[in-house]
Homo-oligomer: A and B are copies of this chain.
């Protein structure tokens, strides 16, 4: 049957896409690259792996057309090829978080470990920022902020927070965000702020989630 061969080929191609994201490290790499482009060496530090292994993972992602390369001097810079990749990963997460109880439990354990921080969603933020006085801060490294950030957010990298929080008005509620639900920086920021008598909340969603939401609004 000729059409059977065709069918098998198509499913094999589709599986090539899912195989590319079937590895935990590669998922993490995509998440990191979703924030900003990286060289192989930088990235290997970010995901705690040898340069050679990182390179190999990147090649898998590249052959699945999920990342693209450019060159900057000696460095090869990897970046996400297309917003369709963000959507794909986002729908994997949506399914994963909803369905896999184990993930829910892990996140729960982790959150309660973080002093029971109060959290906020993007939608809640939009509503509250109209009513009350809110200061939205982006605690990711400055390069990631520069590569793209939520409108009206102030860049306050985590390692500068202690110095810079003196500028913050105590009258405002401070909302911190970072890379998204799996990222710990915003939680750390809120802890620090609270210890210093600020009203502070963490927003679980990050820049990527916000960006994807913008499409839906248009």
Task: Please list the residues of chain A having a beta carbon within 8 angstroms of any beta carbon in chain B.
Answer: 2-4, 6-19, 21-28, 48, 64-66, 81-82, 84-85, 87-88, 91-96, 98-100, 102-103, 106-107, 109-110, 113, 182, 184
Interface majority SS (helix, strand, loop, mixed), chain A = helix
Do A106 and B21 touch across chains, with their CB atoms under 8 A apart?
no
Given contacts A11-B24, A11-B25, A15-B23, 19 further A-B contacts (CB under 8 A): A3-B110, A3-B184, A10-B182, A11-B27, A14-B27, A14-B92, A14-B93, A14-B96, A15-B21, A15-B27, A17-B92, A17-B96, A18-B18, A18-B27, A64-B100, A84-B99, A85-B95, A87-B91, A91-B91
A84 with B98: in contact, given A24-B11, A27-B18 (CB under 8 Å)?
Answer: yes
A106: which of B6, B19, B22, B109 is its contact (CB, 8 Å)?
Answer: B6
Q: How far is the CA of A148 from the CA of B19 in the complex (A)?
A: 31
Taking the nearest CB of chain B, how far is it from the CB of A65, in angstroms?
4
Q: Which residues of the other chain, B, contact A12 by a CB distance below 8 angstroms?
A: 24
Taking the nearest CB of chain B, how far is it from the CB of A206, in angstroms?
14
Do B13 and A103 touch across chains, with their CB atoms under 8 A apart?
yes
Q: How far is the CA of A113 from the CA of B3 in the complex (A)?
A: 10
Interface pairs A-B: 4 shortest CB-CB: A11-B24, A22-B22, A91-B91, A15-B24
Do A88 and B84 touch across chains, with their CB atoms under 8 A apart?
no
A15: which of B22, B84, B88, B98 is its contact (CB, 8 Å)?
Answer: B22
A100: which of B13, B82, B95 is its contact (CB, 8 Å)?
Answer: B13
Taking the nearest CB of chain B, how far is it from the CB of A178, in angstroms?
12
Q: How far is the CA of A19 from the CA of B19 in the complex (A)?
A: 7
